[in-house]
Amino acid sequence: MSIFKRIILVAMLVVGAPLFAADPLVVTSGTDRATPIAVVPFGWQGGTVLPEDIAQIVGNDLRNSGMFEPINRQNMISLPTRGEEVIYRDWKALGAQYLLVGRIVPSAGRLQIEYQLFNVTTEQQVMSGNVAGGTDQLRDMAHHIADQAFEKLTGVRGAFQTKLLYVTAERFSPQNVRYTLQRSDYDGARAVTLLQSREPILSPSFAPDGRRIAYVSFEQKRPRIFIQYIDTGRREQLTNFEGLNGAPAWSPDGNRLAFVLSKDGNPEIYVMDLASRQMRRVTNHMAIDTEPFWGRDGQTIYFTSDRAGKPQIYRLNVASGAVDRVTFVGNYNANPKLSADEKTLVMIHRQDGYTVFRVAAQDLQRGNLRILSQTSLDESPTVAPNGTMLIYATHQQGRGVLMLVSTNGRVRVPLPAVQGEIREPSWSPFLN
């Protein structure tokens, strides 16, 4: 178990017999086939090799959603770059339902990308567009194209231009560890450092405006909550109470922050108005209440509590203080996150025993639960703002890594490896 999980769960009760014997539905792969789509290598009119493969990035994005299966380019019979070059029988022979083609043209020191999307079955164009930028914006332009195609074909807004926060820990010796807070593309590419410390950094989260983040830092040898502005790096220390200061969570309007304090002797959830710095305690129970997550109405908070004897997820009405229990399957459910439509609750789940922690999704209307991961020490799920993908921390070959999984269960891919142990992922809101 990582240092992160030990710190977060130090006071949590994690032993005991299962509360219920019901078996969850285990999803190992999609029950129906993803839609085949051909993303043809884009034509390039310049004389030098581009640093990024636009078509490869677009294809990976669409695959990661779990809704599309890109055709292997080695099987492509022809390589059209514009509509008039498309021979539909080539793509029908490969079983492609859709075809995306494009070309990249140098223009006044910038790159102009023109793209077209076709329905292979009807032999009709369903979308066309163009986007321009510098060579250093190739990935941005590729994610933009993937977003446009995804929304056109599914009716769901694409989330490929979003960002990811995570923490790395590089251990040079038992007493020498460097913690780094990173921001990257949603797929782990182009990581930049936002903060470095010799003390742990925990629970980073984006504000709804995407311009601020909140996190817990131990730089003062004890946990304190900070807010940081991404563009300028300016930081504000928000809490300085005795005991635990942790698990910051932004309200949907970005004007309040929920977090956990133990200043009164027991971990409870508090809500602070950021403009006035006025703070209100919203839970009051002898059990441990932690890991708040806001509903989009700004009046509901999901949280983890062991008030029934073992960690389970509860729902709080902030105005009335009324609390009801949400999870019942398994002997451990924690770290709640909601899908975009709030119909699905994503969590860390333990069905039985004491060592196997997996990512699970519970249908809040029907109550049935699906296992989304296949590893055993999973932590910190975070959901894309359109609800189609999630990322969580786990272990692979003895080290901490991040894993991306589509919420329909069809796709599981590790994010690119970086130095050290990787933990605490947090997905951004839509940024444009």
CB atoms within 10 A of CB 40: 22
Same-domain check for residues 170 and 111: no
Tokens at 40, concatenated = 């043809």
SS3 helix, strand, coil % of the chain, rounded to 5? 10, 45, 45
Same-domain check for residues 184 and 267: yes
Task: Note the pLDDT of residue 345.
Answer: 96
pLDDT band for position 17 (50/70/90)?
very low
Choose the weakest-confidence range: 238-252, 275-289, 403-417: 403-417
Mean pLDDT of the 330-358 span = 92
Which of 109, 129, 154 is the endpoint of a domain? 154
Structural domain harbouring 127: 35-154
Tokens at 48, concatenated = 């030098």
Task: Note the pLDDT of residue 2.
Answer: 40
Residues 178, 189 contacting (CB under 8 angstroms):
no
Q: Is 112 helix (H, G, I), strand (E, B) or coil?
A: strand
Task: Note the pLDDT of residue 420.
Answer: 86
List strand residue ranges (DSSP E) for 120-234, in order: 124-133, 163-173, 176-185, 192-197, 201-206, 212-217, 224-229
Q: Find the CATH number of the domain harbouring 179.
A: 2.120.10.30
Q: How far apart are CA 118 and CA 110, in angstroms?
A: 27
- pLDDT for residue 10 is more than 70: no
Task: Note the pLDDT of residue 25.
Answer: 34
- Does some domain include residue 126? yes
Which of 121, 137, 154 is the endpoint of a domain? 154
Same-domain check for residues 15 and 47: no
Choose the weakest-confidence range: 25-34, 138-147, 221-230, 279-288: 25-34
Same-domain check for residues 206 and 82: no
- Does some domain include residue 432? no
* CA–CA distances in Å: residue 305 to residues 14, 339, 432: 11, 21, 36
pLDDT band for position 355 (50/70/90)?
confident
List strand residue ranges (DSSP E) for 75-151, in order: 98-107, 110-119, 124-133
pLDDT band for position 204 (50/70/90)?
very high
Q: Which residues contact 133 (CB under 8 A, 6 or more apart)?
A: 110, 111, 140, 141
Same-domain check for residues 116 and 199: no
Q: Give which of 192, 204, 193, 199 is closest to 177, Cα–Cα.
A: 199
Q: Find the CATH number of the domain harbouring 123.
A: 3.40.50.10070
- Does some domain include residue 236? yes
* CA–CA distances in Å: residue 294 to residues 5, 81, 126, 256, 279: 22, 46, 38, 10, 16
Q: Total domain count for the chain?
A: 2
Same-domain check for residues 331 and 423: yes
Give the pLDDT confidence of 31-40 residue by residue, as tens digits.
Answer: 468 999 999 9
Q: What whole-number percentage of the chain has pLDDT above 70?
A: 93
Q: How far apart are CA 60 and CA 301, in angstroms?
A: 34
More confident residue, 108 or 390: 390
Same-domain check for residues 276 and 420: yes
Give the pLDDT confidence of 23-74 residue by residue, as tens digits.
Answer: 333 333 344 689 999 999 999 988 789 999 999 999 999 999 999 999 999 9
Is the pTM higher than 0.75? The answer reads yes
More confident residue, 377 or 75: 75
pLDDT band for position 9 (50/70/90)?
very low
Which of 154, 176, 205 is the endpoint of a domain? 154
pLDDT band for position 175 (50/70/90)?
confident
Same-domain check for residues 243 and 363: yes
Task: Note the pLDDT of residue 416.
Answer: 85
Task: Note the pLDDT of residue 396.
Answer: 83
Q: Tell me the longest C-alpha to C-alpha distance in the chain.
A: 72
* CA–CA distances in Å: residue 184 to residues 32, 221, 316, 352: 32, 28, 33, 35
Same-domain check for residues 102 and 207: no
Q: Which residues contact 62 (CB under 8 A, 6 or more apart)?
A: 37, 39, 68, 70, 146, 149, 150
Task: Note the pLDDT of residue 285.
Answer: 94
- pLDDT for residue 419 is more than 90: no
Task: Note the pLDDT of residue 104.
Answer: 96
- Does some domain include residue 368? yes
DSSP per residue, 59-74: HHHHHHTTSEEEPPGG
pLDDT band for position 432 (50/70/90)?
confident
Q: What is the mean pLDDT of the chain?
A: 90
The single residue listed with the structure tokens 């909140």 is: 214
Same-domain check for residues 235 and 88: no
Q: Give which of 293, 249, 241 is closest to 267, Cα–Cα.
A: 241
Query: In degrees to the nearest 10, what's the CA dihedral of 155, 359, 292, 307?
Result: 140
Mean pLDDT of the 323-349 span = 94
Same-domain check for residues 7 and 91: no
Same-domain check for residues 169 and 299: yes
